[in-house]
Amino acid sequence: MFSRFVPGAIVLAVMSGAALAQTPQGRATVVFAIFDNPEDHHGCIVRERSRDGGWDQLVLGRCDNPAGLFIFDERAKRIRAAANPNLCMSDTTGAGAAPFNAILRDCNDNSLGQFYTYNRRSQRIVGLDSDDKEAPDGYCYFVGPQRGQRSMILNAPCRSRMASAAQVAFFMTPRGAGAPPAAQAYPSPSQSLPAAAGLPPIPQAPPQVTRAPWGKTGAWTIESSSSPKGFSACRAIIMSNSGEIRIGLNAALEMTMSTPVDRVVAPPGTRTNVSLRVGNERETAPAGVNPEGRLGFNLPLSLARTMVERTPREMFVEGPDGMSSVPMAGFRAVWDELNACVNAQGRR
């Protein structure tokens, strides 16, 4: 996703030290997660094969993927891939223009970029200078904006505006060996793409969803929701002239939205596109009508960023049954509250 995100958590029992997966060197493996009690399905740094045959890239992916297992070599100040400890976390500084990608490369190769270590106090993955020291004005890893189905891990100066407006803290969590057999060594960039000509699956109400009030921000009501599998999402709700508008933030750092729709024009199961307009920006997004009779879709990054950073007065959603107007004044405060709600889920 984008913008400022404070790490939160979902419920998972951490395995005891005796059950931890061990590397050939005898060191316990760990994951680096955006939540302090990560669930299996999302939220950890994983390695992904480069599409052009270059260095392995680091992206946000499943925490139960073997490609997300690392070794924190505290003595050498290196973060190593558990499957290949000769590969260390690094970046592509010096190999083109910013933003710079987080990568894995040979731990002895000093020809490019810098290596990274983990700072337990700040809970950040921080860059090292040529003397293997953390520079006061050094670089940190952060979760970049979502592009399609992927969120890249990038770097920026730890004190920069870009880093402070994004997910920069990572929880180093011991990880057991019991990853499901179906987990792949590398996530496929196209594996999670929805079928049906790029349209997403019809949004389905999660089973046995439990909703709890969180608070209010202006005219918006904030609530959290969970299922038997754990945290689901936090969402902001407001009544407009078009009916109840819901904007959510989920564990995958996705910003979602749903609006009421005329069941006669668009019955449940309908797949369509919505036209979204904020100020002078206009985007089209695939959408689907769920069993509740609501039109659901993911907000495109450019519009979501505008909603948070520029807080326009209103947004227009054109669906199969006409145009809806969504009040946007003061939405930055709503976004901050959604972040706080997501963050709190792992501290209860």
| CATH classification code of 17-174 | 2.80.10.50
Peptide bond into 99 cis (omega under 30): yes
* Count of beta carbons in the 10 Å neighbourhood of residue 156: 21
* Residue numbers in the chain where pLDDT is lower than 70: 1-27, 52-53, 95-98, 146-149, 160-167, 176-208, 241, 252-253, 346-348
Spatial distance between the Cα atoms of 297 and 199, rounded to a whole number of angstroms = 10
Contact 143, 166 (CB under 8 A): yes
Contact 104, 55 (CB under 8 A): yes
Q: What is the pLDDT of residue 176?
A: 59
Q: What is the pLDDT of residue 175?
A: 78
Spatial distance between the Cα atoms of 299 and 255, rounded to a whole number of angstroms = 6
* Count of beta carbons in the 10 Å neighbourhood of residue 64: 22
Q: What is the pLDDT of residue 97?
A: 61
Contact 141, 116 (CB under 8 A): yes
Residue 179, phi then psi, degrees to nearest 5? -70, 140
Domain locations in the chain as residue ranges: 17-174, 210-347
Q: Do domains 17-174 and 210-347 have the same CATH topology?
A: no
Q: What is the pLDDT of residue 45?
A: 94
What pTM does this model have? 0.49
Class of residue 213 by CB neighbours under 10 A (exposed 0-12, middle 13-18, buried 19+): exposed
289 closest CA partner among 256, 321, 261, 316: 261
Of the CA atoms within 13 Å of residue 24, those in its CB half-sphere come to 7
Three-state DSSP at 138 gives: coil
Which is it for strands 56-61 and 70-73: parallel, antiparallel or unpaired? unpaired
Q: What is the pLDDT of residue 34?
A: 82
Task: Say which CATH topology domain 210-347 has.
Answer: Immunoglobulin-like (2.60.40)
Spatial distance between the Cα atoms of 222 and 162, rounded to a whole number of angstroms = 26
